[in-house]
Chain A
Amino acid sequence: MIPGAFDYHAPASLEEALSLLSANLDDAKVLAGGQSLLPLMKLRLAKPEVIIDIGGLAELNYIREDGDHIAIGALATYTDVAESELILSRCPLLAQTAVVVGDVQVRNRGTVGGGLAHADPAEDLPAAILALDAELKATGPGGERWIPAGEFFITMLTTSLMPEELLTEIRVPARDGYKSAYQKASRQAAGFAIVGAAVCLKESADGGCEDIAIGVTGVGDIAYRAERVEAALRGQKLDDGAISGAAALVTDGVDPIEDVNATPTYRAHLAQVYVERTIQAARAG
């Protein structure tokens, strides 16, 4: 339970971090809160030769309002997000999701940027950033680029970040006037999502669905938007029948994964139940 030997760097600036990363492309791993990487290293499932510890970079640790967006530095912790007044008032789905990630220790140490860049298929936050149409800022030696959330996750543990890039910011549009909820099935309160559903929706006064976005995690290789469910509900009256009918489409075109927690059949069934219940929970506020 002790990692193999590695060289350790704690850069003092983002610029230094990027140059270290470029200099060690094949054998470096970036360490932020350490809640995913360190357990893998202790089991020697990951044996990086170089660790670039960006955990001390204050310039990446912020949550601020930016017009009709909220900008979250990659090093904000889950607890920072869960407790941010700004996020709670303008984009509560993120806080509703961050507050059920792992346990207290994981939330206090783990960073949103680190969690997203790790791209674990059972991570909670991807569902929320997909449902919120967030954008992720990748910073590399050549400058910055913005990646839409829907294009960020490529496959299990793989993102569209280039090897020389760091995820530096998550930019989320404020969702004033929306209702939202995140619910997950997990074996323990602190457990990973077997299935997680993030719902952000706007209802008209007569209960019609003006807008809805649903992010689903835990089901497939990567988190995804349940676009068919959304399409089936948009413009419809949100009654129980419409919701459960639409929720049945949640795994269309998705191959549910199999692991010790659930078979694909059960996962697909749970996805449907959780999408349905999370929509209801969002409506109930």
Chain B
Amino acid sequence: MAKADPNQYVGLAARSKEGPRLVTGKGRYTDDFTEPGMLQAVFLRSPHAHARILGVDAQAALSRPDVFAVVTPEDMKRDTKPFRPGRYAAGLKKPIAEYAGAVDKVRYVGEPVGAVAARDRSTAEDVLESITVDYEILPANTDVHKAMAGEDASVIYEELGANLAWQGTLEYGDTEKAFREADRVVQENLKIHRYSSTPLEPLACIASYDRFSRKLTVRTNTQVPENIYDALRDALQIDDIRVIIPDIGGGFGQKIHLIRKYVVIVALLAIKSGRPVKWIEDRNEHMMAAGHACEQHFDVEAAVKNDGTVTGLRFKEIDDVGGSISTLTIHFTNKLNNLSNTYKVQNIRADGYSVVTNRCPVIPNRGIGKPGMCYIWERIIDRVAQDLDMDPSEVRFRNLVQPEQMPYTTPNGNIYDSGDYPGLLKRALEKVDYPALKEEQAREREKGRYLGIGVVIGVEPGGRNAARDMAIFPEMKETPGSGGINGATIKLEKNGTIALYLGSPNCGQAHETTTAQVAAGILGVSPDVISTTTPFDSDVAPWGVAAANSGNNFHLYDIGSIIGAATQLREKVLKVAGHILDAEPSDLEITDGVVTVPGFPRRKLTFAELGKAAYNNQSLLPEGIDAGLQTTFYYTFPHAQPNLVPGQDRRVRAQFTFGAGAHVAVVEVDPRTGKVEVLRYLIVGDNGTIINPGVVDGQIYGSAAHGIAVALGEGFVYDDEGQLLTITLTDYGKCSTAETPNVEVEHAPSPSAFTPLGQKAAGEGAAIPSPAAIASAVENALEPFGVKVRDLPLTPERVWQLIQEAQA
């Protein structure tokens, strides 16, 4: 059979298919849809961080003719079931029933207590003010250290008896021995704060229920259809569920987890009212209650040889997980994904502590625990360098996994598929002319200008394996879903065009563009004749557990399934064409949508002719071949063994592909105001084979901007009573274009040994090492003052304080 070339359009900066639609305002987001008779919902939210709900009076609201349904805690208890404790709550001593809304207590400001569906939004907001809730206010818990010391102000979950809700240990190798035999031990305390990814579009949902067929349809901007599907089934006991996902205005993790609470309650309003119900979250609600990245405290120790070799790493991690148990361990367990970062170290021990607090629950968020893990490594490596009076890049070179070790198995069982980490670091240092930069820094210091250079490196894992969580919860009896599965459907239409149906939603990463490039090469057509059908619709999409716009899944499962479906379609095209052209399928070629018999220029068939044959003309079809030209393929990663499911040794493939990036940040710090300016930000990255460089660069710019902004001041601030002080983007410190530095990107791809095109992930990457790069650069700038950077964020005031403290 003539060879398909999946690489034909790979590497081409093909024009974005969805870009023009989205940037000209023609995107169709959830709020753009209406349904006949549709109501508008708003949520009643807790003004208190911690309180018992003694009673709710919604009579005034219910008596209004323009109010069609109200949900109160009583309704939640009566009409819904709690969510199943997911894999992040599996380690609880006692299972805790968590409903979509608060039922007995509120545990954070903004927690949904009830909801109203009214004729219009303004009525719904008016009505909300007439609902009274009788609260018994309880002391708020906002300090994880108090919880660790057993000094809870009050207990948030009585079932647990304390706010320290979980603790567990992961150990690989022999850390005792490594520390015993070390020449020195380098120690540091670090902290990463609460932040968000602030997608432009907040959470949104339209629910409608057909009581005759008992089918529930929700149109929502979730990143992960499975979570919505499962949540609706569990909470409402409905099996027939359709999830439609239109264009999404940014996700980054914010639309994966807590969104299910709102979809369930909006669906309940739709069921109760018998009408479609729309809910659009506002910005303040999003900031208060849509989920935060976890505040993480780390006590870190490295066992070090005097030549700079790190032989062991130990860290204790305390996570402030907020007022929910459903994501209790998510930021800790994600440390398994990059536990050894780019380094050869064989002995690692992590002690995790999850503390529930009266703050917003934590959620998956661009990289989840991985920026924290990279921060641990890159900060302690800098400390090692200072301790040994070595250049920080020299200590890194000494400890990096070498290219000839690939594929490389890490102590916890990850298998790094390919990569040249020393090459990335070397190239990054060359690009900035590191020696010249250091000379410039020294010269400028003489003049009172404080330049700083931060050089860091980090892996970027891709793919999914929920069996990972069994490594910390060996008590789990069955895996919560190992590996990943997702599908794609391809159809050659009667006019010769190609329609793709993807198994995942798209939240702005140009899935339509990239998949068309891959399918075009295999099918022998131009990407221009391929279109992707949107929105995602769970009734027809070939979706599986990895149908997730998250976790760096797209490059593996979506690209894998597109390749599978396109390859099968090509085979079928050639069989049907061979029959019509009276030629062996293996002798045929396809060019620009025309099947030809080499050497016989008049024996050819266009895709349009083929389409007509396949759908209209039974006599033209070969025997034993189904009519139609449509194929569906479900992909699962074929190299997932070994370590797919952890055994006694707790070794597991937390993810499956590993890109990497070396980052250099050059900053200038104004020591009088503490303001940090990023003068230069360079990334030399390995994202494997790049399918569309424009798309990948866009991902890198966005994720770098995210990580840099987080390091320099974006973040949530609570007062001691658990009130959130940063409910607007202004107070949150959201960086605009004006504050975002130019990011230079150079690609140095090492194709993956495990994926069909050599592709790796690109979505989270630069958000993982960039907080560490900024911390490193600021510390380096302030070296003359003796400043040590331990905590993020580095707001101007914080940097100024660090200088004051160092000088005191």
**Chain A interface (Cβ within 8 Å of chain B)?**
1-5, 43-44, 185, 187-192, 260-263, 266, 269-270, 273
Q: When chains A and B are docked, how far (Å) is the Cα of A243 from the Cα of B570?
A: 78
Q: Which of A4, A189, A266, A270 contacts B736 (CB 8 A)?
A: A189
Is A188's CB under 8 angstroms from B125's CB?
no
What 1/0 mask marks residues of chain B from 785 to 800 whose CB sits below 8 Å from any chain A CB?
Answer: 0000000000011001
Is B797's CB under 8 angstroms from A266's CB?
yes
Q: Which of A187, A266, A273 contacts B713 (CB 8 A)?
A: A187
Query: Which of chain B's residues 103-144 have a Cβ closer than 8 Å to chain A?
Result: 121-122, 125-126, 129
Q: When chains A and B are docked, how far (Å) is the Cα of A20 from the Cα of B734?
A: 40
Is B730's CB under 8 angstroms from A192's CB?
yes
Is B738's CB under 8 angstroms from A2's CB?
no
Query: Which of chain B's residues 708-723 have a Cβ closer than 8 Å to chain A?
Result: 713, 717
A-B contact pairs, 5 of them (CB 8 A): A3-B122, A187-B713, A261-B731, A266-B800, A273-B673
Q: Which residues of the partner chain A approach B734 to less than 8 Å between Cβ atoms? A: 188
Q: Is B284 an interface residue (CB 8 A)?
A: yes
Per DSSP, chain A at the interface is loop
Is B731's CB under 8 angstroms from A44's CB?
no
Q: When chains A and B are docked, how far (Å) is the Cα of A263 from the Cα of B122?
A: 38
Is A187's CB under 8 angstroms from B738's CB?
no
Is B739's CB under 8 angstroms from A270's CB?
no
**Chain B interface (Cβ within 8 Å of chain A)?**
121-122, 125-126, 129, 282-284, 672-673, 675, 713, 717, 725-726, 730-731, 733-736, 738-739, 796-797, 800-801
Is B284's CB under 8 angstroms from A262's CB?
no
Is A188's CB under 8 angstroms from B725's CB?
no
Q: When chains A and B are docked, how far (Å) is the Cα of A188 from the Cα of B737?
A: 9
Q: Which residues of the partner chain A approach B713 to less than 8 Å between Cβ atoms? A: 187
Is B731's CB under 8 angstroms from A260's CB?
yes
Is B730's CB under 8 angstroms from A263's CB?
no
Q: Quick one: closest B residue to A266, CB to CB?
A: B797
Q: When chains A and B are docked, how far (Å) is the Cα of A90 from the Cα of B795?
A: 38
Q: A185 with B673: in contact, given A1-B282, A262-B797 (CB under 8 Å)?
A: yes
Is B730's CB under 8 angstroms from A2's CB?
no
Q: Which residues of the partner chain A approach B738 to less than 8 Å between Cβ atoms? A: 188-190
Is B725's CB under 8 angstroms from A260's CB?
yes
Q: A260 with B726: in contact, given A43-B284, A273-B673 (CB under 8 Å)?
A: yes
Q: Quick one: closest A residue to B727, CB to CB?
A: A43
Q: When chains A and B are docked, how far (Å) is the Cα of A146 from the Cα of B756?
A: 78
Across the A-B interface, the 10 shortest Cβ-Cβ residue pairs: A189-B738, A2-B122, A1-B282, A260-B725, A266-B797, A187-B733, A273-B672, A260-B731, A188-B736, A2-B125
Is B284's CB under 8 angstroms from A44's CB?
no
CB distance from B286 to the nearest CB of A (A): 11
Q: Which residues of the partner chain B approach A2 to less than 8 Å between Cβ atoms? A: 121-122, 125
Q: When chains A and B are docked, how far (Å) is the Cα of A33 from the Cα of B281?
A: 26
Q: Which residues of the partner chain B approach A266 to less than 8 Å between Cβ atoms? A: 797, 800-801
A-B contact count (CB 8 A): 49
Q: When chains A and B are docked, how far (Å) is the Cα of A178 from the Cα of B244?
A: 64
Q: Which residues of the partner chain A approach B725 to less than 8 Å between Cβ atoms? A: 260
Q: A187-B730, A266-B797, A269-B800 are in contact. List 14 more A-B contacts (CB 8 A).
A: A1-B125, A1-B282, A1-B283, A185-B796, A187-B713, A187-B733, A188-B733, A188-B736, A190-B736, A191-B730, A192-B730, A260-B726, A261-B731, A273-B673
Q: Which residues of the partner chain A approach B675 to less than 8 Å between Cβ atoms? A: 185
Q: When chains A and B are docked, how far (Å) is the Cα of A5 from the Cα of B66?
A: 15
Q: Quick one: closest A residue to B735, CB to CB?
A: A188
Is A188's CB under 8 angstroms from B739's CB?
yes
Q: Which residues of the partner chain A approach B731 to less than 8 Å between Cβ atoms? A: 260-261
Q: When chains A and B are docked, how far (Å) is the Cα of A266 from the Cα of B282?
A: 32
Q: Quick one: closest B residue to A185, CB to CB?
A: B673
Q: When chains A and B are docked, how far (Å) is the Cα of A191 from the Cα of B675?
A: 15
Q: Quick one: closest A residue to B739, CB to CB?
A: A188
Q: When chains A and B are docked, how far (Å) is the Cα of A1 from the Cα of B717?
A: 22
Q: Which residues of the partner chain B approach A188 to less than 8 Å between Cβ atoms? A: 730, 733-736, 738-739
Q: Which residues of the partner chain A approach B800 to less than 8 Å between Cβ atoms? A: 266, 269
CB distance from B737 to the nearest CB of A (A): 9
CB distance from A104 to the nearest CB of B (A): 11
CB distance from A235 to the nearest CB of B (A): 27
Q: Quick one: closest B residue to A191, CB to CB?
A: B730
Q: When chains A and B are docked, how far (Å) is the Cα of A47 from the Cα of B487?
A: 52
Q: Which residues of the partner chain A approach B730 to less than 8 Å between Cβ atoms? A: 187-188, 191-192
Is A260's CB under 8 angstroms from B121's CB?
no
CB distance from B442 to the nearest CB of A (A): 25
Q: When chains A and B are docked, how far (Å) is the Cα of A259 from the Cα of B733?
A: 13
Q: Which residues of the partner chain A approach B801 to less than 8 Å between Cβ atoms? A: 266
Q: When chains A and B are docked, how far (Å) is the Cα of A260 from the Cα of B795?
A: 11
Q: Which residues of the partner chain B approach A191 to less than 8 Å between Cβ atoms? A: 730
Is B282's CB under 8 angstroms from A4's CB?
no
Q: Which residues of the partner chain B approach A190 to less than 8 Å between Cβ atoms? A: 736, 738
Q: Quick one: closest A residue to B736, CB to CB?
A: A188
Is A270's CB under 8 angstroms from B126's CB?
no
CB distance from A89 to the nearest CB of B (A): 28
CB distance from A270 to the nearest CB of B (A): 6
Q: Quick one: closest B residue to A47, CB to CB?
A: B129
Q: When chains A and B are docked, how far (Å) is the Cα of A83 from the Cα of B738?
A: 21
CB distance from A107 to the nearest CB of B (A): 14
Q: When chains A and B are docked, how far (Å) is the Cα of A187 from the Cα of B729?
A: 11
Is A4's CB under 8 angstroms from B717's CB?
no
CB distance from A103 to the nearest CB of B (A): 8
CB distance from B449 to the nearest CB of A (A): 15
Q: When chains A and B are docked, how far (Å) is the Cα of A191 from the Cα of B795?
A: 15
Q: Which residues of the partner chain A approach B796 to less than 8 Å between Cβ atoms? A: 185
Q: When chains A and B are docked, how far (Å) is the Cα of A82 from the Cα of B243?
A: 51
Is B733's CB under 8 angstroms from A4's CB?
no
CB distance from B715 to the nearest CB of A (A): 10
CB distance from B66 to the nearest CB of A (A): 13
Q: Which residues of the partner chain A approach B733 to less than 8 Å between Cβ atoms? A: 187-188
CB distance from B726 to the nearest CB of A (A): 6
Q: Which residues of the partner chain A approach B121 to less than 8 Å between Cβ atoms? A: 2
CB distance from A188 to the nearest CB of B (A): 5
CB distance from A184 to the nearest CB of B (A): 12
Q: A189 with B739: in contact, given A260-B725, A260-B726, A266-B800 (CB under 8 Å)?
A: yes
Q: When chains A and B are docked, how far (Å) is the Cα of A260 from the Cα of B672?
A: 20
CB distance from A25 to the nearest CB of B (A): 25
CB distance from B340 to the nearest CB of A (A): 37
Q: When chains A and B are docked, how far (Å) is the Cα of A3 from the Cα of B675?
A: 38
Q: When chains A and B are docked, how far (Å) is the Cα of A190 from the Cα of B738?
A: 9
CB distance from B718 to the nearest CB of A (A): 10
Q: When chains A and B are docked, how far (Å) is the Cα of A81 from the Cα of B738?
A: 23
Q: Quick one: closest A residue to B40, CB to CB?
A: A2
Q: Which residues of the partner chain B approach A270 to less than 8 Å between Cβ atoms? A: 673
Q: Quick one: closest B residue to A267, CB to CB?
A: B797
Is A44's CB under 8 angstroms from B125's CB?
yes
Q: When chains A and B are docked, how far (Å) is the Cα of A151 from the Cα of B258?
A: 51
Q: When chains A and B are docked, how far (Å) is the Cα of A5 from the Cα of B129?
A: 13
Q: Which residues of the partner chain A approach B282 to less than 8 Å between Cβ atoms? A: 1
Is B739's CB under 8 angstroms from A263's CB?
no
Is B673's CB under 8 angstroms from A4's CB?
no
CB distance from B61 to the nearest CB of A (A): 15
Q: Quick one: closest A residue to B725, CB to CB?
A: A260
Q: Quick one: closest B residue to A188, CB to CB?
A: B736
Q: Which of B672, B726, B736, B797 contacts A263 (CB 8 A)?
A: B797
Q: When chains A and B are docked, how far (Å) is the Cα of A269 from the Cα of B804?
A: 12
Q: When chains A and B are docked, how far (Å) is the Cα of A262 from the Cα of B797?
A: 7
